[in-house]
Amino acid sequence: MENIKFIDQNLEKGLYLVSTPIGNLADITIRALNILKKSDIILCEDKRVSKKLLDYYDIKSQLFSYHKFNEKESIEKILEIFKKNKIVSLISDAGTPLISDPGKILINEIEKNNIKIIPIPGASAVTAAFSLAGYSDDYYFYGFLPKKLGERKKVYEKFCNLDSSIIIFLPARDLVSIIKEMKEFLGERQILIAKEITKIHENIIKGTLDDILDKVKSIVLKGEITIVLSSEANKNKDRNVDLNKEILDLSKKMKTADLAKYLSKKFKFSKKEIYQKILMLNKK
């Protein structure tokens, strides 16, 4: 490594967003290691987790605890560190900082204070899982689903209108219940479930929302899971044609609310979407 000419020989003062391994400690770039070794302070979520990485690569930089529970109150202390012209890195427990992890508040404050921000790319569960799926050329990354069912339903409605693959993070304990919800609200789709990516017990399962529940019995429901859902754009176009036909046929025979409920179950669209389509078609 001593013979490699780093582009960061003389580091600028600023905040470095350093991507760390998502499981396998070997999945870190030479540049990232160089930045971490030269950092005066490393902001991290959990010191215990980050210390394992730093010890493995013999990195002695000082750790500063920065997580979602102390994010706001830590800002002033961190800004004081920058006033001393220190080199500061931000890392998450795994993967790229700010991807469903703390940091947005810090980034906004850093920008207000005209401090330079430098991204150091690397491992990502999002791109790793997407590359395995092979569903489409593009994707929509949502992150973690809301905890409340009502809020999740709104998210599912949004998913129904997307023409790309969809990627979400999920606590493994919620996997079975969420798959059942997706089957109800999103209709038939292809799904990829990725657990322990890059680790010894890496587990990748592909199937449909109909048959995947039988396949996930082999998964230990601990930790976090990355899910990739296929796009249903073409299928939805066909469904829209059939749906419009049924609306025109039945709108004079059924009340709007009853028709929306009936067609929602049949075509796997939300009742709100169906209701709007009925009103739109009846205006023509």
Per-residue pLDDT in tens (0 to 9) along the chain, 284 residues: 555 555 566 788 999 999 999 999 999 999 999 999 999 999 999 999 999 999 999 999 999 999 989 989 999 999 999 999 999 999 999 999 999 888 999 999 999 999 999 999 999 999 999 999 999 999 999 999 999 999 999 999 899 888 899 999 999 999 999 999 998 888 888 999 999 999 998 999 999 988 898 888 777 778 899 999 998 754 555 566 677 788 888 888 888 888 888 888 777 677 887 888 888 777 65
In DSSP terms, 16 is beta-bridged to 89, 118
CB-based contacts of 176, cutoff 8 Å, min separation 6: 213, 216, 221
What b/e readout covers 75-86, taking b as 16+ CB neighbours within 10 angstroms?
A: beebeebbeeee
d(CA 126, CA 36): 23
Give me the amino acid identity at 212. Answer: I
∠ CA 230-231-233, nearest 5°, is: 155
Structure confidence at residue 282 (pLDDT):
76
Is residue 100 within 8 Å of residue 143, measured between CB atoms? Answer: yes
- The token pair at 179 is 């798959």
Q: Which CATH class is domain 126-231?
A: alpha beta
Q: Among 110, 76, 90, 100, which Cα is nearest to 45's?
A: 90
pTM of the full structure: 0.76
Q: Which CATH class is domain 14-123?
A: alpha beta
